[in-house]
Structure 1
């Protein structure tokens, strides 16, 4: 998640996606030793020390989809079946006429080729993709771990927003760097130019680490977005109840911004239990293992918004996440990613993290927007109204097991434990209201949203 800019101390946005090495087939990727904080914001992608492309078992199946696989993966078709998206697509609702806006940093030169490989591999049409760099770009450096990490975030965001809403246009708005001020500038451009009906942000940081002026300016931009009927989504983070300290040396109890803003729909992470080939849904629990955990907790900056007044689990402050989606790396999504190197085009990896959920929820919003023939605007009030209704059990999979306690290691090698929150019936601070049953959710949510 991106972190705010500061003249003296600037944190970097870290991607929330988690890239999994399946086997010792590939050489280590230089510079990638895990999720790290650098100057500026960072995408929510957790990167393992080396990368290995997913290996095909046949023309249509990867080894991670076999019953004997030690690590499971999902294709677009499997995810669309598990979350009841496929029936919406089959009805002719594909996101056509809608634009999904994705905010990321740096960009990378082989995105179009990677996206084409993804589409060819999984039988998708190539989308109308616009890449917009309002402040220009810096030359891509494939030896720079920060830039390569962001390229993985971009691949995940673009490919999986497209997988859910294959008829939608995608506008990738690229911040010049992952400096907080640059991220804010890109977001402001997307809102002020009214590029699309939904914006996805797969990055973040602890609220207290963000420079107050940028924090306030970002909220003001979100207010303008709300006034234009733009739906805002953000990943809730991959460190459970914790966030990295401002110097990146340890972790502490904190919600992540921009997900914690009440104008944003925060997307947490689950472990999805589904058939890896046909997508038959079997259940979910809170994502929490060695790869990371679903971000969640309570804001120290924002009071509880009116749509959360009815929740007994919440005290005086904004609680996150609002919803969830598959995020575990063991059960991650297949993604074409060349790390920005032309010679690597054609490689497929497994990605996970709450970064996977935000762009896919953006795709869901695009589908709903097409079906409604209008923008949805802020969806949180409608989601919470649904959560308190008898229709909740149709619209969402209630995740009731697991917790998001964080267990990690600080820069000195000492173990850090940050007690988290248990899942339970209804809303909780690890998975929100749960994951969507999209075919049921869309017609129930539309009447409860912006007109």
Structure 2
């Protein structure tokens, strides 16, 4: 099971210019899996039939090849007793062993083009194709009728938006169904408006009263990151990835960092698909807090055009597929029960690839006291929320579970072996959270600098990038000791008492469904991480 190294080279497949003659059986229409929502009261409200000439952008998904071999490979990779411990694959090795066959992806691309669609983007790991066309073309190709649903915005406080939905299952020729995981998403067109220019100057003044919110220094102190800083480990030599929908202002980033005492370079931005037409506070805070807590790390932002599923699923997958960072943080969380299973699974396939590549994927568990996507995947470290009382110099006075910390048994995934015997009452399902950090607006919200103004918010949208910053600093410490990067954290966290013992156990507070308590619990997982503790105990 070597990679694509010498002696294991596979000659490139010859890709035909047109589709072969399929048998009648292969051309027979069959129901396809799809991630297109059905009406759901309070989440998706049906507004009626979509206009024939409206534009659709959609994702076609493909299965991992040799998928039965991948989980055991990952298990060995994270078993300290295995000779393959932490021998991660490169992106190229993963593609050679586990990516969908290039020929299969090519044939489906030809079929989409035959239906009148334009195929615009092919994922590096070949798990996704993004294509566009009209509603009429989509309805004809997939034997359906697209409708417009108004969707409640997963980003709390933002207005609802329109998405495509359907009342019936899509169909495709059998040969297409056999080669794909179906249509994963279908969304309205991305905006083509140009992004407004930056304007304004960098503000180094800071908020009028900085004590009205928590600062980088307070969070670094509360979670023992300052102890790694004192040893000289701030994330240097580490590439930290942030997945975002839409853009941010570079001047906002620098205003935030400099005002709070951090000197660091701007992120490198990789546009994964269409250019963004707007800026979001979510994208801004994710970059400000992950980069602010790991000032030595190289920040790489993977930017989709907006926060629609087509943009976010593709961007998350592409950030992993390129294999160039060692940590990825994602705070564009959606309630698990509001996402069709095909969407949840596509995130999971990408996260599984990340584990094989030695990439730590952290995601917000959400702010609904229920489970979210993508943190529901066992291959993602789900960061829940606490309410933290901390002094101005970063001393912790107390910390309790946040009432809205996303947590509980997941809907989509069976309990992984490493949670068996630890998690109670999950009905045989993967449970979240795994870890937790401050997320509440009480007693103090987080600062963010957005569109030239100091603002304050809370949510696990902050705890996830904060934890990613910790992992970046831990990785720089490990590199100095000659150790490989952390990679997939969960299995080692759940099976190594020495690592668990470094966490500050959060034993009080609750959501409406679950209470915190000694040891692992739903709202806070193992509790509050210690950066120096993780650095010195992870094998």
Asked if 1 retains the 8 angstrom alpha-carbon contact of 2:270 and 2:301, the reply is yes
Please give the per-residue CA displacement for 1:337-395, whole angstroms capped at 9, x wherever unaligned: 11xxxxxx2x2122210010111111111111112123211100121124xx26634x1
SS at match of 2:473: helix
Match of 1:162 among 287, 291, 294: 291
Q: 1:324 aligns with which of 433, 436, 442?
A: 436
**Is 1:311 equivalent to 2:422 in the alignment?**
yes
> Which of the numbers 107, 123, 126 marks the counterpart of 2:264?
126
Q: How many residues align?
A: 350
Give, in whole Å, the separation in 1 of the partners of 2:36 and 2:262: 38
Work out whether residues 39 and 179 of structure 1, in 8 Å CA contact, stay in contact via their aligned partners in 2.
no
Question: What is the Cα-based RMSD across aligned positions, in Å?
Answer: 2.2
Q: Aligned match of 1:136 in 274, 279, 283?
A: 274
Question: For 1:211-290, what aligned pairs fall within 5 Å after superposition?
Answer: 211-241=340-370, 255-275=371-391, 277-288=392-403
Point out which structure has higher relative CO (alpha carbons under 8 A, 6+ apart).
Answer: 1
Segments of 5+ residues of structure 2 without an aligned counterpart are: 1-34, 38-145, 164-184, 186-204
Match in the other structure for 1:38:
161
Q: Distance in 2 between matches of 1:219 and 1:391?
A: 25
- Residue 486 of structure 2 is aligned to residue 376 of structure 1: yes
Tell whether 2:310 aligns with 1:181: yes
| Alpha-carbon contact 1:274-1:283 (below 8 Å) kept | yes
| Secondary structure in 2 matching 1:160 | helix
CA 1:10/1:229 → structure 2, altered by over 3 Å: closer, same or farther? Answer: farther
Which structure 2 residues correspond to residues 48-447 of structure 1 after superposition, within 5 A?
Answer: 62-63=208-209, 65=211, 72-108=212-248, 111-140=249-278, 151-241=280-370, 255-275=371-391, 277-288=392-403, 293-315=404-426, 316-330=428-442, 331-338=444-451, 345=452, 347-373=453-479, 374-386=484-496, 389=497, 392-393=500-501, 395-405=502-512, 420-445=513-538, 447=539
1:38 Cα offset (Å): 3.1
Per-residue CA deviations over 1:2-53 (Å, capped at 9, x if unaligned) read xx7656458576347xxxxxxxxxxxxxxxxx25553469xxxxxxxxxxxx
Q: Look at both structures and tell me which one has the larger radius of gyration over its CA atoms.
A: 2
Structure 1 5/137 Cα, relative in aligned 2: closer, same or farther at 3 Å? farther
Tell me if the contact between 1:13 and 1:205 (Cα under 8 Å) persists in the aligned partners: no
- Deviations 1:157-176, CA, capped at 9 Å, x for gaps: 11111121100111111112
Deviations 1:91-118 (A, max 9, x none): 111111111111111113xx21001111
Query: Which segments of structure 1 move beyond 6 Å, counting only runs of 4 or more?
Result: none
Residue pair 1:74, 1:332 contacting (<8 A) in 2 also: yes
The Cα of 1:327 is off from its aligned counterpart by: 0.3
**Distance between the aligned counterparts of 1:37 and 1:377, measured in 2?**
36
Q: 2-side partners of 1:274 and 1:334: how far apart?
A: 15
Seen in structure 2, the aligned counterparts of structure 1 residues 199 and 390 have a Cα distance that, compared at 3 Å, is closer
Q: How far apart are residue 312 of structure 1 and its match?
A: 4.7
Relative to the length of structure 2, the TM-score reads 0.61
Counterparts in 2 of 1:425 and 1:440: CA distance versus 1, 3 Å: same
Structure 1 unmatched ranges of 5 or more: 17-33, 42-58, 66-71, 141-146, 242-254, 339-344, 406-419
